[in-house]
Amino acid sequence: MPRGKFTNHKGRNRRFTNPEELEEERRREEQKKKWRQQHGGESTSEESEEEKKISEESGSGSEEESSSEGEEGKAKGVSNLIEIENPNRVQKKIKKVTKLDTSDAGDSKPQLSRREREEIEKQRAQAHYQKLHAEGKTEQARADLARLAIIRQQREDAKKRREAEIKEREDAAKAKTAATQKALGKK
């Protein structure tokens, strides 16, 4: 007995069926089935009453299953007149692999999301722009080519100036060596 003021009375009157009794009941059921099969399935009213009693004793689980089957076949009251559009209640239909329509899947392109379509469009636009830019047909390409032409012109002018300066230095160096040679009396 538990000590203290509160006692729990749950489970005092529980009775469990012996496994031996269950096994014996199962054997009896099998014998009845064999006898029915041997005698061609003829059953008397007494046997059908016994079957009903046994099914009632076995539990209400089979009754619940039969009632759920009956709901699909026959609706009670006005519920058969009212159509219910509950998406959670819809039974999913099982599709067989052999009946799947594969003709649509192979011919059409896969459906792309908005982001994927935008990304592909952006890549196409950039490739097109690069092609036009390489051909020199865009405004930026024209500006780049003009700037490049100006830079080439400046470099050519700078090169000519350098060559002219080098030539002047060489001429100045030759004149100086000639003047020194003349001053020294050599030729």
Predicted TM-score (pTM) of this structure: 0.32
Q: Are 163 and 157 in contact (CB under 8 A)?
A: no
Q: What is the pLDDT of residues 108-133, one digit of tens each?
A: 567 889 999 999 999 999 999 999 98
Q: What is the pLDDT of residues 83-108, one digit of tens each?
A: 767 777 767 778 777 777 666 555 55
CA dihedral 41, 47, 48, 52 (to 10 degrees): -130
State both tokens at 26.
């199962």
Q: What is the pLDDT of residues 161-173, one digit of tens each?
A: 999 999 999 999 9
State both tokens at 183.
């001053």
DSSP, residue by residue, 146-178: HHHHHHHHHHHHHHHHHHHHHHHHHHHHHHHHH
> How is the chain split into domains, by residue range?
114-184
